[in-house]
Structure 1
């Protein structure tokens, strides 16, 4: 079966590219992917599969392929939402939806998985076990789609789950893996500080919220430098400080928004505890009232060590000229809601190199000039096919 599947994928490389380009031209934002979801559903129309649509809190879809041989139940996931970015690439299939762009490779994820799924459907008589194809909405925008799809119960029977992400860290043919904690968790916070406004000449009769906010900006960085173990990873970013006013008026209130990243649940808990402690201290020291919104979006992504070793060994032994190098990648500070699947299901999320040919340094994901080497799409399809076939044996 494995050799047949690989041959089928190779023969459909141009189709994968064509699908990717269509999706790239027609991007839709998280929770608004109605036409994309319909395109995916239409692709499966008339095929011998079970299709469940509108899964979770949006346009998620689970397509179940039941093999005719006994075996395990495996999940394969690809996301299909885009980003609110004005595209600046110079390609003939540029986004037709102004201000929306597939700048993270989700068009490629969906394209490879559609064709791989279709090939598996055609080989159902040789497929061992059950394969659930998860087309996921809203990866980019919290609360995301993965958590709600998990809560649907449709994936409760999975023995393992696999996913990939296109990253231009290296050329097509290079595949990266990371065992254990591989991608950071993420928390959003907003702090409103309410003081007492007044005249700039009389600060003693007011209570300056800007001073309190400025102290908070400095103080939270001591969590990373003085509370976190130097061998742990954590980042606190203040992305917005809304204190616009008039030069001689003391602001009565300010709002700050920020982003927290961490590689373990323990670090997540420590940072939250310390942020809340600092906020209470600011209230006491400056005599202000604080309203803190602190929302953990995506957990850290944890790749099961045993399954990750299996993926690594499988790909190293493919003898496939398109799969050229398997490398251990670094921990990534970006976040991914695939982590919600891995909280409950053992699995592996690995990386597919897609750096465009002829460039020394590629534009990274989420950049308006982000682009890929489309040869990476076949690499993604073939690598996941190899994993599926080997895991089912």
Structure 2
């Protein structure tokens, strides 16, 4: 079956919710409207609602009528990205500089769909815990909820999350045990030189030249220092310097991200970044300040829960469409922080379209909404049994 019949019956409602959320995106810790809609929907279905968890997070609690059982958590992220949309869809973003380019509007809607189904079909044992998380996109929303005692206040025996996947075929679901997504650092490197006239560089210390040289040198860390058998990425994603054609600026800034699966490789890269920067500073006679921050842990799926997710996925899309071969990705996801506290698993749901996430032309396939909702709902029905 492609989706639970009861969820199929209200798919149009899910599409309407998703498109409304898409038209009104909110970035991390600003999800006031989004969390308000989530809370209102949950309450309307008779689900106990708790707001303000970790800032703008929402938690819903639903007790099944099937007797004692386990507490199973389902998690979705709610935040958008700080970027403009270029799709020109009727439900495109109405807020400049804000876009649901990663499909979190879809994840929120899928979890709402699962919550509605379970509220209308309460025969499961135990308790369902619906976790709507803010600020997944590098702002620490999961850590904020954990710091707000998420699992002390709302205990879970296990927890599950899903993500849309335009790189998979429609109807495919991927899940596997072990390391599934990379850990990530973000970094900012500030180079302070000596500004001067662009026609007289000899009286200054040009931070732009240093930035260019440093950017090239940092790329040698992965290619020449890291074990080639270990996956690692170092990407410089921002370079900022200068404001005029004829002025050598005082400062230049590099920023970017590092992705790894190994704490040892992450440590090596951080150390080499600082060593190379220090050497460059001495060589060019400038000051270089390096700030490296650990943002995401490696996301590790627990074996039992990964197998359980694959079994439920086979019910929904057929065993031939469930991909269980380990293929870790270099992207990161702060659901990893929750999986360090509570066992669980994270899965990907394939959909139509070839535009990748984090692209201004990304379009979520609404056809995955009932599939994702069904997967989440069945995880509660099958995993709450003691």
Same fold (TM over 0.5): yes
- 1:242/1:92 Cα in 2 relative to 1: closer, same or farther (>3 Å)? closer
Shift of 1:351: 0.2
Equivalent of residue 52 in structure 2, options 51, 54, 62? 54
Alignment counterpart, residue 365 of structure 1, candidates 341, 357, 370: 357
Aligned to 1:181: 179
Number of the residue aligned with 2:268? 270
Give, in whole Å, the separation in 1 of the partners of 2:16 and 2:244.
55
| Match in the other structure for 1:344 | 341
Say which SS state the counterpart of residue 75 (structure 1) adopts: strand
Aligned to 1:66: 63
Structure 2 partner of 1:353: 350
Residue matched to 1:130:
127
When the two structures are superposed, what TM-score results if normalisation uses the length of structure 1? Answer: 0.88
The aligned counterpart of 1:17 is: 15
- Residue 325, structure 1, aligned to residue 321, structure 2: yes
2:172/2:322 contact within 8 Å kept = yes
Q: Deviations over 1:277-317 (max 9, x none)?
A: 2222223333322222221222221111232122223323x
Q: Match of 1:7?
A: 5
2:332 aligned to which of 330, 335, 344 = 335
Corresponding residue of 1:118: 116
1:175–1:323 contact (8 Å) kept in structure 2 = no
Deviation at 1:198, TM superposition (A): 4.9
Provide the C-alpha distance between the structure 2 equivalents of 1:90 and 1:196, rounded to a whole number of angstroms.
Answer: 46
Q: What is the CA-CA distance between 1:30 and the residue it aligns to?
A: 2.1
Q: Which runs of 5+ in 1 are unaligned?
A: 357-361
User: Alpha-carbon deviation of 1:179?
Assistant: 2.3
1:51–1:347 Cα change, 3 Å: same
Find 1:160's aligned residue among 158, 161, 165. 158
Change over 3 Å in CA distance of 1:107–1:250 after alignment to 2: closer
**Is the 2:42–2:48 contact (alpha carbons within 8 Å) kept by the matching residues of 1?**
no
Change (3 A) 1:251 1:82: closer
Question: What is the CA-CA distance between 1:173 and the residue it aligns to?
Answer: 1.1
User: Is residue 2:380 matched to residue 1:374?
Assistant: no
CA distance in 2, matches of 1:66, 1:45: 14
Matches within 5 A, 1:83-162: 83-124=81-122, 126-140=123-137, 142-156=138-152, 157-162=155-160
Report the Cα offset of residue 205 of structure 1.
5.3
RMSD over aligned Cα atoms: 2.5
- Shift in CA distance, 286/61, structure 1 to aligned 2, threshold 3 Å: same
CA deviation profile, 1:4-33 (whole Å, cap 9, x unmatched):
x93322322222222212222222222222
- Count residues in correspondence: 380
CA separation of 1:294 and 1:15: change in aligned 2, threshold 3 A = same
Q: CA deviation at 1:272?
A: 1.1
Distance in 1, matches of 2:253 and 2:147, equals: 34
Partner of 1:212: 210
What SS does the aligned partner of 2:215 have?
helix
Does the CA contact (< 8 Å) of 1:74 and 1:160 recur in 2?
yes
Q: Is the 8 A contact 2:242 2:251 kept in 1?
A: no
Q: What corresponds to 2:305 in structure 1?
A: 307
Distance between the aligned counterparts of 1:351 and 1:326, measured in 2?
Answer: 10
Matches of 1:65 and 1:44, distance apart in 2: 10
> 2:37 & 2:214 partners in 1: Cα distance?
48
Deviation at 1:168, TM superposition (A): 1.0
In structure 2, the gaps of 5 or more residues are none
Per-residue CA distance 1:176-225 (angstroms, 9 max, x = gap): 12321111222221111223345677766544433433332122112101
Tell me how far apart the structure 2 counterparts of residues 182 and 168 of structure 1 sit (CA, whole Å): 17
Structure 1 residue 31 corresponds to structure 2 residue 29: yes
Q: Alignment partner of 1:71: what SS?
A: coil
What corresponds to 2:77 in structure 1? 79
287, 295, 302: which one aligns with 2:285: 287
